[in-house]
Structure 1
Amino acid sequence: MLEWCVGIGITLLTFLIYFAYFFKFNWVKDLRTETKTRQTRSFYAGNKHRKVGKLPPVYPNGWFALLESSQIKNGQVKHVCALGENFAVFRTERGVVNILDAYCPHLGANMAEGGRVKGDCLECPFHSWTFRGKDGYCENIPYAEKVPHVARVKVWKSCEVNNIIFVWYHSESAEPDWQPQSHTYISNRSWRYQGRNEYLINCHIQEIVENGSDPAHLTSVHEAAKSSKENHKAGLHMCHKLVLLERFNVMEIDVLTEQIGPSYVELIITTSIGPMCILQTVTPIEPLLQRVTHQIYSPPLLAPYANLIFLGECVMFERDMKIWNYKRYERQPTLVPEDRGIQAFRRWFSQFYSEHSPTYETAMKDLQW
């Protein structure tokens, strides 16, 4: 009997150690795939006649996450649909990431579906035309004596920062004037990746990132949003508390949030036992369909605490997700003085829209061809 109890104890201890230090979260929720649940049936019924409101442009200008670095290996190509575009994201055999328009200019084959990486080029699966990743020019047509000088596919500017692959999108085709920067503790690997979550949410991109400027629905203490000297950045300071029985503060964490462009947020979390970081990305897949991811990093010894923090973040985010999936965008909301942060954030965010930014109506027409 004693040996049996010891065995169970060792097994439980092993499981706890594994979960605390080696388990990596991969918390993925796609409402569209859960078709058998009452909640999903209710969702589609409720959204059939949903009023979207007077929406801002649906695709802001800026850097957007397409993939995480671990999701694409050397010599691999992936097809990513986002921002009303089809991207062929490929990593060369030397490990360099390039992003081309997915469609071959020859006869329109999707080069990310069955295409092959050859050196620094991407080969079309239809007639084996190969296109250079750096400039998009066709390098070889196996059955032709000469390659036409007009044989070229669009190259999308990209960067790989903090283990995330970003693409630059701008409705006026303007060049990037900023880009995400490497986080010191992530780039030098002193902080360890602890896991991720991923959600598909039915709303406008601004609804999600605007959430940080709305303190009224959060159980936290906020400081006012602060604009950075760099126009593409905005900051917010929060102090989250876990209160038991409405009187005991069990856990208090300090969160410094930096919004970098329209779609990327870094949350630096300071706790009584050490710091950690959560990276949030929001990418419009369609006008009212956003893919949101969070990745958490922490010092190795803080892994158990980081897992606990991240689990709490998942639960809180899903609470808001239930609101976003059904709400209408209010362009001129009825506000009280305590809501001043919302209007300040909207003024800041408006810089990422320009004259030809796609509207909901024009983007939907492109999807319905």
Structure 2
Amino acid sequence: MKTKEKLPYLNGWYIVEWSKNLKHGEVRPLTLFGKEVVLCKSDKGEINLFDAFCPHLGAHLGIVGVMNGENLVCPFHDWEFNEAGKCVKIPYTDRLQKQANLVKWPVQVKNGIIFVYYHDQKEKPNFDVPRWKEFEGKKGWSRQIKRTVVNKAFLQDVVENAVDMGHFHPIHKFDEIPTITKLEFKGHTYKVVFNSPKKILGKLMDVELEIFYQGPGFAIASMEFPIHFKLITSITPIDEFHLAHHFTFVFKKSWNPLFDLIVQSFAVRKAMKDYTFDIDIWANKVYLTNPKLCFGEGPIIKVRNWLKQFEPKKQELKSKKAA
């Protein structure tokens, strides 16, 4: 993985964890976008994400840090910070340090999934994460099936991969190169629909897949035949070269629970196996800012142009270089 210029982190919502995996009172250290942060859940279930280091004397809040009810407690001097990141208690003085506040990241929990908003200049989100009824475990849909893979890749490569029709035959063994039937860009979203014949269980079937990105950080994929499923997928940068790729599957139930279990298990295994084929390519390729594309590969450039709205502004990049 190489590039002539350092690729920027892109502004948007990203998945960090499923809420059930975070225990009440837990303080978990993470690295996101090259920064050390802490993800915590209060006794009442409030979930927050803060920069990791205490503004007092720099202790890491995720190393032996604990929750005291709704407050995050620094392990070094027992200073306490509330859900807004404000210092609310210093055990050895009544005079609070009003400037000692934690940097809080915007967090939304939808369908039991924890999303965090990244912005290079810490601006507020300009759109919310939607809620999907299919992922609530009701009205004929299965429970959520969750997977996470950490791998080397550039986020930009993964996002444009959805419209790179030429890779589906050599990498994913499609019998024919898929045909894009719809490609739509609207504000912070882009949608692609493509179909192609593909052998599944030895039978040639016409597969149609829809992928709907909402910002660069997450998308919902849908297929109705031969397997009716939906998938929330998120590619969350850990650092400059590594991503945490989160998958949340749900399946439409049939009249036969045993059949559903077999189909769901097969479909998830197949999807994750197909994904591993991409991983080896991403981990060993270079990102070309000026690729020499051929006829029919215009959608790749369209996706790259769409992604530009999420990049740091040019003046922001210049100030970083000067620093």
TM range (shorter): 0.7 to 0.9
Residues 1:242 and 2:198 aligned together: yes
Mapped partners of 1:161, 1:241: distance in 2: 34
**C-alpha distance in structure 2 between counterparts of 1:68 and 1:358, whole Å:** 32
Verify: 1:182 aligned to 2:182, yes or no: no
SS at match of 1:208: helix
Aligned counterparts of 2:249 and 2:143: Cα–Cα separation in 1 = 6
The question of 1:326 aligning with 2:284 is answered yes
Cα 1:146–1:189, aligned 2, differ >3 Å: closer, same or farther?
farther
CA distance in 1, matches of 2:239, 2:316: 11
Letter of the aligned partner of 1:338 in structure 2? G
- Deviation at 1:213? 1.0
Contact 1:59-1:357 within 8 A present in 2 as well: no
CA distance in 1 between counterparts of 2:308 and 2:265 reads 35
Question: Aligned AA for 1:320?
Answer: D
Change (3 A) 1:291 1:118: same
**Structure 1: which 5+ runs fail to align?**
1-49
Q: Tell me what 1:286 maps to.
A: 239
Relative distance call for 1:244 and 1:234 in structure 2 (3 A) is closer
State the identity as a percent: 24
Change over 3 Å in CA distance of 1:70–1:222 after alignment to 2: farther
Q: Return the alpha-carbon distance in structure 2 between the equivalents of residues 163 and 356 of structure 1.
A: 36
Partner-residue secondary structure (3-state), 2:293: coil
Which residue is equivalent to 1:147?
96
Give ranges in structure 2 of 5+ residues lacking alignment: 169-173
Determine if contact 2:190/2:212 at 8 Å carries over to the other structure.
Answer: yes
- Structure 1 segment 79-90 matched on structure 2, within 5 A: 79-90=29-40
Change beyond 3 A, Cα 1:238–1:304: farther
Indicate the residue corresponding to 1:213 in structure 2. Answer: 163
- Determine if contact 1:57/1:353 at 8 Å carries over to the other structure: no
SS at match of 1:325: helix
Q: CA deviation at 1:243?
A: 2.7
Match of 2:263 among 294, 301, 305: 305
Q: Distance in 1 between matches of 2:154 and 2:8?
A: 7
Does the C-alpha gap of structure 1 residues 118 and 192 become closer, same or farther in structure 2, counting only changes over 3 Å?
farther
Equivalent residue, structure 2, for 1:125: 75
Q: How far apart in 2 are the matches of 1:291 and 1:357?
A: 29
Deviation at 1:253, TM superposition (A): 3.5
Superposition TM-score, scaled by structure 2 size: 0.87
The amino acid of 2:46's aligned partner reads V
Q: Contact between 1:225 and 1:234, CA under 8 Å: does it hold in 2?
A: no
Pick which of 170-179 and 342-351 moved more: 170-179
* Residue equivalent to 1:17: none
Which residue in 1 is equivalent to 2:213?
259
Q: By how many angstroms is 1:352 displaced? A: 0.7
Q: How does 1:1-369 map to 2 (within 5 A)?
A: 52-55=2-5, 57-133=7-83, 135-187=84-136, 189-190=138-139, 191-218=141-168, 219=174, 221-224=178-181, 226-229=183-186, 231-243=187-199, 249-272=203-226, 275-300=228-253, 301=257, 302-355=260-313
Distance 1:121 1:250 in 2: 57
**How many equivalent pairs are there?**
307
Cα offset for 1:193?
3.1
Contact between 2:107 and 2:116, CA under 8 Å: does it hold in 1?
yes
TM-score in terms of structure 1 length: 0.77
Equivalent residues of 2:153, 2:279 under 8 A apart: no
8 Å CA contact retained: 1:82, 1:284:
yes
Q: CA-to-partner distance for each residue in 1:136-171, whole Å, 9 max, x for gaps? A: 111111111211211211111111123221111111
Q: Which amino acid aligns with 2:262?
A: P
Question: Which is helix-richer, 1 or 2?
Answer: 1
Distance of aligned partners of 1:66 and 1:307 in 2 relative to their CA distance in 1, 3 Å threshold: same
Q: Does the aligned pair in 2 maintain the 1:194–1:297 contact within 8 Å?
A: yes
Which sits farther off after the overlay, 103-112 or 161-170? 161-170
Q: 1:339-368: per-residue Cα shift (whole Å, max 9, x none)?
A: 011111111111110226987xx79xx9xx
Work out the CA distance in 2 between the residues paired with 1:139 and 1:357. 37
Secondary structure at the residue paired with 2:296? helix
Residue 225 of structure 1: how far off its partner (Å): 5.1
Change in 2 beyond 3 A, CA 1:193/1:238: farther
How many angstroms apart in 2 are the aligned matches of 1:357 and 1:82?
A: 23
